Each structure stands twice: as C-alpha cells, then as structure tokens.
Structure 1
Amino acid sequence: MTVIDPVLADVLKPTAQARGLPNAHYTDPAKFAEERDALFGSGWAGLAVASDVPEIGDAVPISFLDIPLLLIRGRDDGVRVFQNICRHRGMILVEEPRKIEGAIRCPYHSWCYSTQGQLVATPHVGGPGFNSHEDIDRSTLGLIEVRSHVWRDVVWINLSGTAPDFEDAMADVIARWADFEQPLYHGGADSTFTLAVNGNWKLAIENYCESYHLPWVHPGLNSYSRLEDHYNIEHEGLTSGQGTLVYRQLRDDDGQSFADFANLDAKWDAGAEYLSIYPNVMLGVHRDHAFAIILRPDGPGRTEEYVHLYYASPETDDTLRKRNSEQWKVVFEEDIFVVEGMQRGRRAPGFDGGRFSPAMDGPTHCFHKWAADRIAHHRATE
C-alpha cells in the first residue's frame, strides 16, 4: 500500500477541511522539476496553437519546460511537434520562427530532414564525397516526434507518450462543449497577445477557474456579469472552472455584433463558460467568440500566458475585433497583481497552503486535488 505524504493527504481532504499545496510547490526548483514529469509529462499539456504555423513550411521553435521543441506544418499540411535537435550530435536545428522552403538543415554538419521528420540527407557521412554509410540507417534516424493532437486549435502534447488517446482522455470536456465542435477562425495578429507574469503557473490556473474574486479584481466585468450570476464547474481529474448566466455581446456603434456559432443550444444565448484544462490550458466559449490561453512556465516563479481569440466566421469587423481583444486584455491584466501577490506570499514561512471556501473555492480545490494525486502517484512509481 502506498503511504501518501501527509502534506498531500491534507490537500486531498474534502474542501471544507483541506489545505492547499504548500509553499515549496510554488518556489522550489526541485518541486518544479518533479512537477514537469508528474503534472505535465504523463498527460496532455498545451504547447501552442496550430494558428502559430498557418502555412505549409512554417516552423516555430519553442522551449517548453526547458525541452527544445519544434512546431511545424509539414508539406502534407499536418501540424507536428518534434524535438528541435539533430539526431547526429544533438544540435539545435531551428533558432527563430521561419518558413522551411526545402528541408530542415542542421547548421552543424548539414544533416537534413523533411518537414514530416524523415532524415533525407547526410553529407559526407561516409567520408569526403560519400553521403551514405552502411552503418547509418536514415530510416531510423528521423526527428524525434512528440505525440500531439489539435483540438480547439490548441496543440496538445503528451511528452511521455503513454497517455490515453486525446479523445478518450478529454471525452467529458469535449462532450460538455459539443455545441462548439465546429470551425474556429483565429482573429489574426490583433487577436493574440502575450502576458508575462512573475508567478507560478499553478496560481494562474487557480485564479482563472474561480469566480470568487470578480467583485474586487474585475469590477467592470462584475458590473453586468455579477458574482451571483456564476456557477462552479468541477470535473475530478480533468478540469474545473466557472460559468455565467449573463454574457453581454460586444456591439459596435450601429448595434452590430460578431456572427454566432451555428445551431447553439438556447442556454448559450446569454451564457458562457470558462474552463481550466489541467495542467496548463485555459479556455472560454461564448455564442460569438472563444479564446484559448496557454501557460508556459519558466521555472517556479515566472509564467508566460499566450492568449488567442477565435470567431465563428473568418469575416469580422476590424474595429470590433480589436475592441474585443483590448477588452479581454484588460480583464486578464487585472489578474496579474493577484497571481504575483500570491507568489510573493508563498515566501512566508507560516503559510500552510491556505484554506478553501466550501461554497466558492471548489474549482480551485479540484485543481489542487488533481495535482496532489498526480504527484503522489508519480512518487509511488519512481
């Protein structure tokens, strides 16, 4: 029988009695390294969006938890993720975002790979003028592919390669938003922005999934979508978040709004939902637009948030689209001081992980339980 760490056991208690994860899980590099495998490696994590590589040959290098990865759209129009290293000597292949016109060429010894990952050229590998060797089997030396899946334009990756198929792992959340299983159109350059936060990635997830803070942190939003208009969403081991019964569409001076997604249930006429998909993706859906936020941790105390907005139609009014992006940027920026304040608070030695409101903090506690359970399982199987 596995004996669980008593600190993690406290996290797993019912919400009214539980405590949150202790300080070290927000400040200690050793705990951050443990969470890379326990929380990110074994399941499906968000890396980027497919819209980052919109055209064939587009390639974007990404450092994810210190792992050098390459997001690329191949000649077959498929989006893939590879380790961004040459199989010869481990040299980084692509340093900056660019279009691959021919092959991916290693700058060290010019080994070349197709955009689908096959090793296609090995100059002088058998000696000057000899580009092959009987002991170099190109078919076994393609780029190392990272298992990936695209859903809601998010490129999800499974670093361990051992997670259930994405559709099985995410079946419940896919079913919850079945109405929105239809084309998404990225709003373009003015519909994406990045926020740098001096705080642990988990604090961003915890804050996003609850509505408790709305009256004090988001007074503008709370003026029409009030705290009492919200409800909690909790799905053990997968996601938690909040929904609102009052969503107000953005309109221009002539009263025009964005086109709605097709054939939505009537509950979406005035409703919206916001989910934290564990570990690091935050999604929102509305009748006329959606968004995805992908968190990329940079050590225990810093996080970059990549925000993308989507619409039901590729044709959107420029002014209205920009206003929508600006409006959401204000909302998300309002959360930064909270995340950074909690991060500084994790340096207080007397803080024991905190307590949860049984009525309001269920979604946050749901996330803590998921993290504690994954960490305990990881320790038991090491």
Structure 2
Amino acid sequence: MATLEYDFEANWKLIVENFLESYHVPFLHKALDKYSPATGRYQVHLAQDINGIGTQHYEGVVLDGTPLPQWPSENNLDYAEYFNGTPNFLLGLMPDHLFAWSLEPDGPHRTKEVLHFYFPEGSATDPAYEEHRRITLERWQQVNDEDHDIVQRMHKGLISGALTRAQLSPVMERNILRFQNHVLEVTSA
C-alpha cells in the first residue's frame, strides 16, 4: 500500500464533482489522456449514492515488456471504473491496482484528501515491480496535482460571487446532478 495526501483550499463537493466528469481530461490531464483516454468514457450509476465514470481503455505501466500483474480475472482487463460513494469516498478500479480516497472536510473552505493505493498480491511488495509501482504512483500524483490547482481555482471563483447560476450538461454531467441532488436531499432532511 502507498499513500498520498493533499490539502485543498476548497469545498469537498468540488473535488467529487471534478472526479465525476471526464471532459476536462484531454485539456487538463494530457498525460492521463494518453493511457486512459477521455474518448470512450462513460457514466456509471449503481445506486442513489454510488455514481462514477468508466473508461473503455486503460494502459497500466509496462517496463521492458513486463506489465504489473492484474487482479485475478478470466479475461485480460483493459478498462477502469471510478466511483463516488456519497458523501466523501472515492474508489478506482484499474486492471493492475486500485485506489481508495477519502475526503475529510474542515469547514466549507478546506478539505484534506487521503489517497491509498493497493496492488494485487504478488506485485504489492515484490521488488521486481518496485519501478512499476513508483511510476503508477507518479502518474496519480501528477493527475492529482493538476486537479488540486483547478479545484482550488474553481472554489475561489464560486465564492467570489461572480457566478450566480451554474448550468450542468444533461448528458456529460448527469452524475454530478445526481450527486448534488443527493447531497441536497440528505442535508435538507
């Protein structure tokens, strides 16, 4: 297991909303878009409080022709799915690793994000895969560094008062709308 931590000067809900949409990937995450392209992404809705996105193609780290071992499966997996368990749990399932992230709000303007990464038995501690794991974690750190900046900028824009009303895409942001409606429902009760 490996862990990363981030402190956001932003509301936790913006982190979830950023997590639930993919159209920013080719613009903000150019490296990610090469091994997990935004084209072919789809939205997943499992339950009122479990929404996510998937990608039809995910390329894990391959060094000298050797990939990280994959999770046990009858097929060679090459897709990934990412889920938000409302309110503040994020889970990502890739062919060769998974992540579990928690968001810990500290008031309306700060959030601590704790990211845990797990690898299949055999590759989790095997020194032969140490470089694979290091590169995998560097990839996620780059993605999160990029998101860290943009989410904080979004928060500053929202609290500035310049935006009076947001318009969500009924196609590309269905899960964000579901998430917002669920939060509104449970906080209004």
Amino acid at match of 2:9: N
Quick one: which of 61, 69, 88 aligns to 1:250? Answer: 61
Pairwise CA distance, 1:229 = 1.4
User: SS of the counterpart of 1:357?
Assistant: coil
Deviations along 1:58-87, one digit per CA (max 9) or x if unpaired, are: xxxxxxxxxxxxxxxxxxxxxxxxxxxxxx
Quick one: which of 130, 146, 157 aligns to 1:334? Answer: 146
Q: Does 1:346 align with 2:158?
A: yes
Pairwise CA distance, 1:349 = 2.7
Which TM-score applies when normalising by structure 2?
0.91
Pairwise CA distance, 1:250 = 0.5
Could you tell me which runs of 5 or more consecutive residues in structure 2 were left unpaired when the two chains were aligned.
none
Quick one: which of 73, 86, 89 aligns to 1:281? Answer: 89
For 1:257-272, list aligned pairs within 5 A: 257-264=67-74, 266=75, 269-272=77-80
* Conserved 8 A contact 1:243-1:273: yes
Larger Rg: 1
Report the equivalent of 1:368: 180
* Conserved 8 A contact 2:48-2:182: yes
Pairwise CA distance, 1:204 = 0.4
For 1:52-67, list aligned pairs within 5 A: none
Report the equivalent of 1:208: 19
Pairwise CA distance, 1:226 = 2.5
Q: Distance in 1 between matches of 2:132 and 2:161?
A: 48
Which TM-score applies when normalising by structure 1?
0.46
Q: Distance in 1 between matches of 2:37 and 2:132?
A: 24
Shift of the 326–224 alpha-carbon distance from structure 1 to 2, 3 Å rule, reads closer
**Bigger relative CO (Cα 8 Å, ≥ 6 apart):** 2
User: SS of the counterpart of 1:328?
Assistant: helix
Structure in which a larger fraction of residues adopt helix = 2
* Conserved 8 A contact 2:32-2:139: no
Report the equivalent of 1:43: none
Shift of the 236–353 alpha-carbon distance from structure 1 to 2, 3 Å rule, reads farther
Q: Distance in 2 between matches of 1:248 and 1:224?
A: 5
User: SS of the counterpart of 1:346?
Assistant: helix
Count of residues in Structure 1 that have an aligned counterpart in Structure 2? 185
Shift of the 235–351 alpha-carbon distance from structure 1 to 2, 3 Å rule, reads farther
Identity percentage of aligned residues:
31
User: SS of the counterpart of 1:223?
Assistant: helix
For the aligned residues, what is the CA RMSD? 1.6
Q: Does 1:197 align with 2:5?
A: no
Quick one: which of 280, 296, 311 aligns to 2:104? Answer: 296
